[in-house]
Amino acid sequence: MSSTEFHDEDILDDTTAAGEDPFRQSGDPDVDAVYYADGGDWEDIAEAQAERGDETIVVNMGPQHPSTHGVLRLILELDGETVTDCRVGIGYLHTGIEKSMEFRTWAQGVTLCTRMDYLTPFYQEVSYCLGVERLLGIEDAIPEKATVMRVLLMEMNRIINHLVAIGTTGNEMGATTVMTVAFREREVIFDMIEMITGLRMNNGFVRPGGVANDLPAGAIPKLREMSAWLHAHLPEVGLLCDDNPIFRARLDNGIGFLDLSTCMALGTSGPPLRATGLDWDLRKKQPYCGYETYDFDVITDDGCDAYARFVVRRDEMFESLKIVDQAIDRLEKLDGQPVMVADPKIAWPSQLTVGPDGQGNSNEHIRHIMGESMESLIHHFKLVTEGFRVPPGQVYIPVESPKGELGAHVVSDGGTRPYRAHFRDPSFVNLQAFPVLAKGAMLSDVSVAGASLDPVMGGVDR
């Protein structure tokens, strides 16, 4: 087998025998010729390759290609336009988040893990905080309102994620309108998330013991307006895709085929798994945050291809909207209830009032903390700067993120900081299926097949 390696800026014209390749690593396959990036004319390269009598080449797709969902590198081996082999190169977005969490307090860890996958911040926060709360032994003490707010934010987040997954899939096929319509609905939800948490993304709102703040005044009517808008406009996203024969043809008929046995072998979860017909959803199978008390269905499809994964995400948005409506009703009845555990040794201050600038603390809150009790001021200072201690132990808490099983493995040595915090990110695990989707496919279908997995590299690399 012979190969040609193309680099982003390369025009290649020089060749050398495999044994003379100074860059050859131990274990690399033998090749007949190696092409170097040192200038030249493309016609000369094509002519030299044609004289070799084969059409097998190796092409780098990424790590900055717009169809690789961020800094993902695909090493594709091609025979003409057919992919004969695919390797996935990751690590270009490594942030060291998990290691950094070992040097921050338990509460500060939320601010780091929320940034892993920018499309699913609340799921990272919830899985981590549920782990900390189990180690603390305070699971039963979490206020009901805080739990309902977590569910509300997670399901709004699920709709956001699926809108981006569907929108970018359309955009990568040239259907820009699909993305603009999907992002329009996304903005409506972001307005509500910003109203509740103060931020659109990377929220850091879920805290060990509850959530950072209560709902602002007038939030319930605005949330109902958002729900009414989504009920009226979400169907447009599905119709825009389903009514387009080109969209259907690019995703349907076995494009990106991934069956149940392959999913089970590779640990694939989320929409790709449910697109094989298996109704595996942790919200139903291993309930958390009271999901067993909500009425919703697990969406499945048996197509096993990119279109089946689109169908699962499309229909899941409406199930999430059902949960959002139920959460809004519950929050209306819980008006005035606490959103943080009562234990002052754990509870991060959650009854903050905002100043006139909309950002800083109000004079009333500062007066309460600093003017009424020296002990209150000292306790506030120690809780914020030093943090609370967590008993020694380790837990693994999985949640059903929009991309699949997201789990936090939290380890404590009894101190005020995590000894270890490791996340099972679904993008990382699901990405193992990429070579299976790509082998035998046309080059033009690689981006579509990859988009159907919905990977985000911040979650992969962490």
Mean pLDDT within 330-334 = 92
Q: Which residues of 332-358 are buried (b: 16+ CB within 10 A; e: fewer)?
A: eebeeebbbbeeeebbbbbeeeeeeee
Query: What pLDDT sits at residue 156?
Result: 95
Average pLDDT (19-32) is 66
Task: Collapse the DSSP code of 134 into the 3-class scheme (helix H, G, I; strand E, B; otherwise coil) and give the result.
Answer: helix
Tokens 């033009």, residue?
444
Per-residue b/e over 183-205, b at no fewer than 16 CB within 10 Å? bebbebbbebbeebbbeeebbbb
Higher-confidence residue: 322 or 87? 322
Distance of CA 93 to the CA centre of its chain: 14
pTM given for the model: 0.83
Nearest-angstrom CA–CA distance, 234 and 229: 8
Report the CATH architecture of 103-346+388-436: Orthogonal Bundle (1.10)
Strands (DSSP E) found in 209-312: 210-211
Band of residue 3 on the pLDDT scale cut at 50, 70, 90? very low
Cα first-last separation, the chain: 36
Residue that has been written with the tokens 């101190």 in this structure: 415
How many CB atoms lie under 10 A from the CB of residue 168? Answer: 20
Q: What are the angstrom distances between the C-alpha of 161 and each of 278, 420, 439?
A: 21, 28, 27
| CA distance linking residue 33 with residue 40, whole number of Å | 17
- Higher-scoring residue by pLDDT: 186, 66: 186
Residue bearing the bigger pLDDT, 148 or 45: 148
Is 459's pLDDT higher than 80? yes
> What does the domain layout of the chain look like in residue ranges?
103-346+388-436
> Quick one: pLDDT at residue 17?
45
In eight-state DSSP terms, residue 315 is H
Dist. CA 168–CA 428, nearest whole Å: 19
Please tell me the least confidently modeled range out of 15-24, 126-135, 409-418: 15-24
The C-alpha atoms of residue 355 and residue 351 are separated, in whole angstroms, by 13
Predicted pLDDT of residue 18: 42
Length of the chain as a residue count:
462
pLDDT exceeds 70 at position 36: no
Average predicted confidence (pLDDT) for the chain = 83
pLDDT tens for each residue of 372-429: 667 767 777 777 788 888 999 999 999 999 999 999 999 999 999 999 999 999 999 9
The string of pLDDT tens digits covering residues 171-227 is: 778 778 888 888 888 999 999 999 898 888 888 889 998 898 889 888 999 999 999
pLDDT of residue 444: 81
The C-alpha atoms of residue 231 and residue 236 are separated, in whole angstroms, by: 10
From residue 56, alpha-carbon distances to 8, 50, 82, 395, 445 in Å are 18, 10, 10, 48, 18
Question: Tell me, what's the pLDDT at 10?
Answer: 42
**Is it the case that residue 168 has pLDDT exceeding 80?**
yes
Residue 15 scores a pLDDT above 50: no
Tens digits of per-residue pLDDT, 217-267?
889 999 999 999 999 988 888 888 887 888 888 887 788 888 999 999 999
